[in-house]
Structure 1
Amino acid sequence: MSTIPLFLFVSSILLSSFPGFALCALVSLRSIEIFRTHEWLKATSTVYFLCKGDNMTLLLDIKKPHVLYAFNGQETWQPLINFSSKKCKRCGLYEEDSITSDDVLEEWEFCPSDFTAPHGEYIRFKEKEFNATFLCPECLSLVGVGEHDDGKGMHITVVVLLSALVSIILILGVVGAYKLWQKKIREQDQARLLKLFEDDDDIGDELDLGSVI
């Protein structure tokens, strides 16, 4: 294996060993109750969840108001979103409207820091619209690391990773130098062998010449 592929291979292993560099905090919908429908011609509605820049998630099970819909997080449309950092997202709950533009139940800044309740729960209540409970256990650790150690944990991780990469580069340098040294030794041996053969030829020529005399 050459040095460059080896370096890339070892680097990928190191990066995968530090989960802080691949943050993943999945948000699922635990339960929701809508208080009214905005559709005048239908008794049921179609509600969906959407964050700016993400795909729409249709909540097809939610049809009627004043019904508490509970979920276990294993539904095909779960999770709703994924937080890869502590940065908030602009999200909202909406209701499809067959006549005019879709109705906004509410839009808000959805943040990992919202999930401060035990087990990573977050309750969002909008008067006359809905009451929803979201779940994100990973958000507790995602936010907690930065708040309690002021980034020291991440700093230590970066230092360890950089130290490991420097060590690997040094090792690869030594291996490369050793292979170069071996190559030089082989070239010198080949040169000596060629010179030896040339000397043997010269001696042979002299012996042939002496016998003729």
Structure 2
Amino acid sequence: MTSVSLNEDQRDCYQELTNVAMGQAADRLARLLDAYVILPVPKVNLIENSELHMAIQDAESDAAVSAVCQGFIGAGIAGEALLLFNDTSFHDLATLMNYQGDLDRQGELELLMDVSSLLIGACIHGIGEQLEIHFNQGHPVVLGQHCQVSDILKSGNHQWSKTLAIEIHYTLEHVNIDCDLLLLFTEDSVTKLNTVIDFLLD
């Protein structure tokens, strides 16, 4: 099997595609919560499995997090989206979403699922639309609530030796809400994706 790689033009193209997609996702989030979403430039890297753990731990510091994972597949391209949500965000999120129930574990789970399906769905759809690929999404799975990042990693199924990781950090202005979305594409998918990207670059 040939080793997958990423040149500078391809990386820029992935970044641009993600910028557009995360802009759409942020727009939906901003309208839902009536708050301004701050978006940094997404990070695009081809990393080894061992580095994936470091990337996820860099994304979220020592704070306890809750995490949702959702697989997606289309046109022979597969991967999973991992949303890491900082636990300190729940109270502000409940206020913004006018959540009336008790903010217990179940309440937090509902909020987590709502935000993750919106962000993951909009982002995957936005990237797919630009590449003219329809991605089917699996059911979201909660990997953990109120736990350390290292515990979440144990429950993931990242069995690839190399993965294309796109890291997106969402922060809301004036409120304590921040989360990280990691899009992880399988090694086999990167070769196919690069072919599509090269076609766009020509």
TM-score, normalising length from structure 2?
Answer: 0.31
Q: Indicate the structure whose relative CO is greater, using CA pairs within 8 Å and at least 6 residues apart.
A: 2
Q: Greater Rg, structure 1 or structure 2?
A: 1
From the two aligned structures, give the one with the greater strand fraction.
2
